[in-house]
């Protein structure tokens, strides 16, 4: 199935809005279940906004014990695309406010929802992948915490015995 949105066609609809119900495994991501997304694509003059909720289950490898585990995805996306190269002097992706990026379509008529979802899933994976609280590898994590420089303060605390 094709998940490309034509900006021109979007402009020609009375509401300037398109709804996409995505349900598919995404190439390049180890999906345990298809990724689902209910997205609303709206033309806002110079920009196109893609908003919605993404859910799914992916297989990740635990950083500590290297076992594969299922990770539930559930996040919102809110992406802006600039139709024309408004921002010639900036890089292709510009942050307009904290956490919100505008991607420049650079005259391209198409927004590739499949690619957008791929990027969003990758960005929403945890930095530290741990299979669970009972992970066999958790001793490594504890050792790591002890070498955290912020923990040094505790090593220097000495309890003074009270003189009688
Ligand atoms: Zn583990």
- pLDDT tens digits along 112-159: 999 999 999 999 999 999 998 888 775 555 555 555 555 555 555 555
- Cα 30 to Cα 132: distance, rounded to the nearest angstrom: 19
d(CA 82, CA 65): 43
Q: Note whether 1 and 23 are within 8 A (CB).
A: no
pTM for the model: 0.74
pLDDT digits (tens, 9 = 90+) for 138-148: 555 555 555 55
62/83 Cα distance (integer angstroms): 40
What spacing in Å lies between the alpha carbon of 91 and ligand 1's midpoint? 39
Q: Do 62 and 129 form a contact (C-beta atoms < 8 A)? A: yes
Ligand 1 centroid to 65 CA: how many Å? 4
Mean pLDDT over 72-82 rounds to 94
The mean pLDDT of 20-35, rounded to a whole number, is 96
27's CB contacts (< 8 A; 6+ apart) are 118
Q: How many CA atoms lie less than 13 Å away from 19 in the CB half-sphere?
A: 4
Span from the CA of 146 to the centroid of ligand 1 (angstroms) = 19
Domain boundaries, the chain: 4-132
Give the Å distance between the CA of 68 and the centre of ligand 1.
8
């Amino acid at each position: 199935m094709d998940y490309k949105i034509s900006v021109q066609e979007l402009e020609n609809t009375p509401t300037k809005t398109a709804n996409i119900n995505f349900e598919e495994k995404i190439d390049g991501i180890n999906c345990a279940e298809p990724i689902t997304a209910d997205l609303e694509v709206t033309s806002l003059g110079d920009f196109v906004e893609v908003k919605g909720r993404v859910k799914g289950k992916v297989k990740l490898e635990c950083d500590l014990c290297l076992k594969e585990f299922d990770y539930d995805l559930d996040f919102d996306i809110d992406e802006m695309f600039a139709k024309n190269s408004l921002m010639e002097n900036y890089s292709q992706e510009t942050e307009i406010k904290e956490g919100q990026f505008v991607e420049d379509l650079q005259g391209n008529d198409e927004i590739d929802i499949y690619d957008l979802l791929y990027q969003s899933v990758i960005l929403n994976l945890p930095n530290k992948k741990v299979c669970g609280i009972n992970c066999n590898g958790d001793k490594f994590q504890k050792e790591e915490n002890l070498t955290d420089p912020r923990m040094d303060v505790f090593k220097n605390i000495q309890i003074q015995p009270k003189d009688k």
